[in-house]
Amino acid sequence: MKNAKNRSLKLFMLLAVTGLVASTLVFQAGCARPETASAGLQPPVAEIIPQNLTVHGHTRVDNYYWLNERDNPNVVEYLQAENEYTKAVMKPTEALQEKLYDEIVGRIKQTDQSVPFRSSGYYYYTRFEEGKDYPVYCRKKGSLEADEEILLNVNEMAAGHDYYSVGGLAVSPDNTLISFGVDTVSRRKYTLHFKDLRTGEILPDAIPVTTGSAAWAADNRTVFYTKIDDTTLRAHKVCRHVLGTPPASDPLVYEEADETFSAYAYTSKSKKYVFIASGSTLSTEYRFLDAAKPAGAFKVFQPRERDLEYQIDHFQDKFYILTNLGAKNFRLMTAGLDKTAKEDWVEMIPHREDVLLEGFELFQGSLALQERAKGLTRIRIMPWDTSAEHYLDFGEETYSARIAANPEFETEWLRYAYSSLTTPSSTFDYNMVTKEKKLLKQEEVLGGFNADDYQAERHYATARDGVEVPISLVYRKGLVKNGKSPLLLYGYGSYGATTDAGFSSARLSLLDRGFVYAIAHIRGGQEMGRWWYEDGKLLKKKNTFTDFIDCADFLVAQKFTNPGRLFASGGSAGGLLMGAVVNMRPELFKGVVAGVPFVDVITTMLDHSIPLTTSEFDEWGNPEDKDYYDYMLSYSPYDNVEAKDYPALLVTTGLHDSQVQYFEPAKWVAKLRVMKTDKNPLLLWTNMEGGHGGVSGRFRRLKQTAMEYAFMLDLARIKE
C-alpha cells in the first residue's frame, strides 16, 4: 500500500449552534453537506486522492484508497475525528443512551453461572461475578457438591488490558493441564498458553500467532496446534508441541498449501484420534492419527475433491461421516477404521430433498441428529436398536434449537439449547429412552419480564421470482397494525449461516417502546436447505438483497410499518446487505445500522493479503474472472454510491477488525459524504480498541448497543 505519511491533515474547531465544540478533519476536496441531525456541525471530509484501479481493461477510481493504511497516523486522526463528530451529533441522545444502557444491564443477572456439563469425572461450568466483565472458568470433581476449582479467572488476567479475549480452552486427558489462547489486540492472533491445574502455574511454553486452540494427544504432554499467517491470518500450519520443549523447534506436521483452504486440529469425541481438518467453501479434507501415537504420521481420510464436503467423528469401531456426496442436503455414512475412502462409505441416513442434515451426536445407546425442515431446526433421536425413533417437540411457531455440549457417550441424556423470540435462552436435558425433559436453566431476565406480554409470529413474503421467504417477527401485545409502528428488520444471508429466531433481553428496550422486530430469512443462508444457500451466492448473490427488499415491502403492505418508520440492520456480510439495499431502494428505509460492513467487495477480493480473501472465492467469486468482476461491480456498495438521497446511516467498525478491515466502512462513509444529496445523519463509529466483535467484556459492548438503539429511537421521535 502507498505511503501517505507526507499527506497533510488540517484540524480545526467548529463551534456548533448547540454550543458544542467538535474537532473536524477536513481533507479539502469540496464542501460537505450539512446534515440535519448535526445541528450545524460540519462532519469530517476526507481528502480526495484518486487511485486508479484497473482490471480487465476497466478502471475504477478510488478517491479514498489511502485510508487503507492502518499505520498511517493521519488515518487514525481521521477515524478519531469521525468519532468526535458522532459523539457531537448524538449528544442530545446521551440521556436516552444512559437510560437504555441501564435498562439493558438491569435485565442481566450479574452473578450468574452456566449449566455444568460432565466430562472425564469433572463438572465444568462458567460463572460471572457482579460488576465484572469477564468469565471465571471452573470445575468440580465428582459431584456438584465438591469444592470449586478455578481454572481461569479472566477478570484477573485482563487487568491492565484495553482488550482481552480467552478462547480454545482444552483440558488434557488426565485432567491435570489446560491449554488456552489469549488475544489482547482483537486481531484473532492468539498466544497459546498452558496451565498446570495441580499447582496453578502458568507453564513457560507460550506459542504466538495461533488460532488459540490445541488438540491433546493421549500422553498428556503433546499437543497439536495451528499457526496462522501473520498478514492474511489464514490458519495454515499444524505443528506438534511437547511441553517443556522450545516452541521454536516444534515440528511442522502439516502445511496447507492451497491458499483457498484453512486447517485446524481437534480431538475426536472418543479421544482416540487427533484430526486435522482442511476446508474451503466447497471442499474439505481430513487427516487422522491415533492419539496414543503422537509422533506418528497422519493419514488422509478421503482426498479432497472439488464440491465434496464431509466431516467426521469416531465411535467404537467406525467413523461417522456427514457428507454431501451425492446429497445436496447431506447424508450420514459410516466407514471402518482401516478403509476410509469414499468408495468404502456405507449409507446410514439417506439424502432427503426437503430436509437438511446439519449435524449429529453419538451416544452409547442412541444417535441424535440435528435437521432442518421448512426453515426450522428439528432434533431426531434414533436408538441403535432402531426402536422408538422420534423427534423432540418444541411447541412454538418460530424458535432456535441446537444440540449443545455432549462430551460423554455413556448417558441417556441429550443436552440441547433452546430459545425463541419470546422465550429466554434455555438449557434442557432430554432422556432419549424415557422421553423425560428437564429444564436445567432458563436465562433469568430481571426487571419484570413476562413472556406473555409479547407475540411472536412467522410470515412468508413472496419474492419477485415467486420464492416464499420466511419472516420471523415479535412485538409487544396490543400492537395495532395500522402501518404506524416503527419496525427493525434484520438480515444476514451469507455463508449458508442460518439466522434463527432467538431471544434477546436487550431487544426488549425496543419492543417496550413500540417497535416490531423482524428477521428476514433470506437466501444466502441455509434456512430452507442447501439450495437456499446456493441460490444466494456467487452469480446469484443479488437474490439476498432483493429478498430483503421484498420482505420489507411485505411488512409495509401488511401494515406492520411504513417507510417513514422502517429501520434495517445487519453486520459483516449483513453490512454488505445494508449497503446494497440502501443503494437499490434508499427511500424504503428511515434509518440503517450497518455493523462492520463488507462494502468494498471488488478491492478486497482482489487483494490476497487481506484476511479471508482467498478462502472466499467460492462464496463471492474471484474478480480476476471478468464474469465475477462485472457481477460484483453491479452490486458492490462502495462502487455503487450515487448522487441521491439516502436514509440516515450509522456505520460501525473496529480498528483491529480481522475479518472486515476498518477501511471498508471508512471509505464508504467518506464517499457517501460527498455524493449523497440528502441532509440525513451519516455517522461512522470506530472502536479504536476493538475488532470484528467490538470491544471485549459483557458490559462494555452494551454501550454501543445503547447508542445504536438511541440512533433509531431518535429518528422514530421516541425520546424516552
Q: How far is CA 497 from CA 124, 320, 491, 492, in A?
A: 29, 23, 11, 8
Contact criterion met (CB below 8 Å) for 31 and 97? no
Q: List, in order, residues 6 or more apart from 455 with CB less than 8 Å away.
A: 422, 474, 475, 476, 477, 479
Which ranges constitute the DSSP H helices of 599-701? Answer: 601-606, 617-620, 626-635, 663-675
What letter would DSSP give residue 695? S
The pLDDT value recorded for residue 690 is 58
Contact criterion met (CB below 8 Å) for 168 and 156? no
Q: pLDDT tens digits, residue range 405-427?
A: 999 999 999 999 999 999 999 99
The pLDDT value recorded for residue 32 is 36
Catalytic residue among 62, 504, 692, 714: 692
Give SS3 for 11. Answer: strand
The pLDDT value recorded for residue 187 is 78
Q: List, in order, residues 6 or more apart from 492 with CB less than 8 Å away.
A: 499, 522, 524, 525, 570, 571, 572, 573, 574, 577
DSSP string, 521-583: --BTB-TT-HHHHHTTSGGGTHHHHHHHHHHHHHHHHTTS--TTTEEEEEETHHHHHHHHHHH
Q: What are the residues facing 310 on neighbouring strands?
A: 323
Q: Which three cell numbers stand for residue 98?
A: 444512559
- Print the SS3 string covering 422-442: CCCCEEEEEECCCCCEEEEEE
- Quick check: is 572 catalytic? yes
Catalytic residue among 280, 366, 426, 572: 572
The count of other CB atoms within 10 Å of the CB of residue 408 is: 16
Q: Which three cell numbers stand for residue 529?
A: 436447505
Contact criterion met (CB below 8 Å) for 244 and 253? no
DSSP string, 131-170: T--S-EEEEEESSTTSPEEEEEEHHHHTTT-SS-EEEEEE
Rounded Cα–Cα distance for residues 24 and 43 (Å): 6
- Quick check: is 241 catalytic? no
The pLDDT value recorded for residue 186 is 78
DSSP string, 70-90: TT-HHHHHHHHHHHHHHHHHT
Catalytic residue among 657, 658, 696, 714: 657
The pLDDT value recorded for residue 696 is 54
The pLDDT value recorded for residue 6 is 31
Give Rg (Cα) of the chain: 26
Contact criterion met (CB below 8 Å) for 511 and 486? no
> For residue 520, is it left (φ>0), alpha (ψ between -120 and 50) or beta?
beta
Q: Which three cell numbers stand for residue 460?
A: 412468508
Q: Which residues of 630-654 are buried (b: 16+ CB within 10 A; e: fewer)?
A: ebbbebbbbbebeeeebbbbbbbbb
**36 residue type, one letter:** T
The pLDDT value recorded for residue 342 is 97
Through-space distance between the first and last CA atoms of the chain, rounded to whole angstroms: 47
Rounded Cα–Cα distance for residues 655 and 408 (Å): 41
The pLDDT value recorded for residue 693 is 56
- Quick check: is 165 catalytic? no
C-alpha 572, offset from chain centre? 8
The pLDDT value recorded for residue 131 is 86
The pTM of the full predicted model, rounded to 2 decimals, is 0.87
| Regions of the chain short of the pLDDT cut 70 | 1-40, 611-612, 657-659, 690-698
Contact criterion met (CB below 8 Å) for 274 and 288? yes
The pLDDT value recorded for residue 698 is 67
The pLDDT value recorded for residue 697 is 62
